[in-house]
Structure 1
Amino acid sequence: MPGIDECLLETMRLPGALGAALVDWTSGLALGTIGDSPGGDHEAAAAETAEFARSAVEHPVFALGAKDSADELLPVEDVFVAAHSGYHLLRFIRTAYDSSVFLYLWLDRELGNLALARLRLRDLAERLVLA
């Protein structure tokens, strides 16, 4: 089971990966970063993506129609944005305590494979060990 550094290294092995981070969406702080960052500033990118993630998580409209066996709304799993600069993927990580972190991947639009990246981020999020 990988820790933060190993998880980020594995993320960068994805075809077209430009940069990645593990971000706490409640504080906007990057818990770890690797590679490049849009705009060249990992901390600014972490704060901006955290604001976006918070919007997705806190608005139930994004979970409408998805319910579990207890008929409760399921949380958002991941979010992606297609931009001219590439794809931006956010994969939320469920934890035993507060589930306030996500993996962020900036993916080259020409070289990256969005479907593969989404599947790999899901796998990494499930195996990630946060201590």
Structure 2
Amino acid sequence: MPGIDECLLEAMRLPGARGAALVDWISGLALGTVGESPGGDHETAATEAAEIARLAAEQHVFAPADDPDGASGADVDPPVEDLILSNRDSYHVLRFVGTSFDGSVVLHLWLARAEGNLALARIRLAEMAERLVLA
């Protein structure tokens, strides 16, 4: 089972990958980064990705149909699996990672739009999130 560094390096092998980070979406801290960073600063990118993830995770409207109250707690995953943001030249994919402690971690992958494969990135990030071991 891969750790943070192995997971991020695997993400960078995806077509079009420009950068990747593992971010605590509660605190905004980057637990690991690799490659380029949107805007040139990994810490700022982590903080901004955390803000977006937190906004989505805390909204009850995004809760699954079988969880209309949008219940949240330390032992409940966020209602959102992933987020996709796009602009003229890139995609940002944020994949929520379930953890045994508090579930407040998200994988952030930055893809070049021309070379990236969004469907493949979503599938692989989901697989990576399942295998990731946080110690």
Asked whether 1:101 is paired with 2:105, we answer yes
**Matches of 1:54 and 1:85 in 2, distance apart?**
24
Matched residues, percent identical? 66
**Matches of 1:35 and 1:83 in 2, distance apart?**
19
**Matches of 1:64 and 1:26 in 2, distance apart?**
21
Aligned residues: 128
Q: Could you tell me how far 1:14 is from its partner in structure 2?
A: 0.1
Q: So what's the TM-score if we normalise by structure 1?
A: 0.93
Q: Which amino acid aligns with 2:5?
A: D
Flag structure 1 segments of 5+ consecutive residues without an equivalent: none
- Residue 80 (structure 2) aligns with: 76
- Residue 17 (structure 1) aligns with: 17
**Matches of 1:64 and 1:104 in 2, distance apart?**
22
**Matches of 1:122 and 1:72 in 2, distance apart?**
25
Runs of 4+ in structure 1 over 3 Å off:
71-74
**Matches of 2:84 and 2:100 in 1, distance apart?**
25
Deviations 1:78-129 (A, max 9, x none): 0011111300000000111110001000000000000000000000000000
Q: Could you tell me how far 1:43 is from its partner in structure 2?
A: 0.2
Question: Aligned Cα RMSD in Å?
Answer: 1.4
Deviations 1:64-87 (A, max 9, x none): 52x26xx77572100011111300
Q: So what's the TM-score if we normalise by structure 2?
A: 0.90
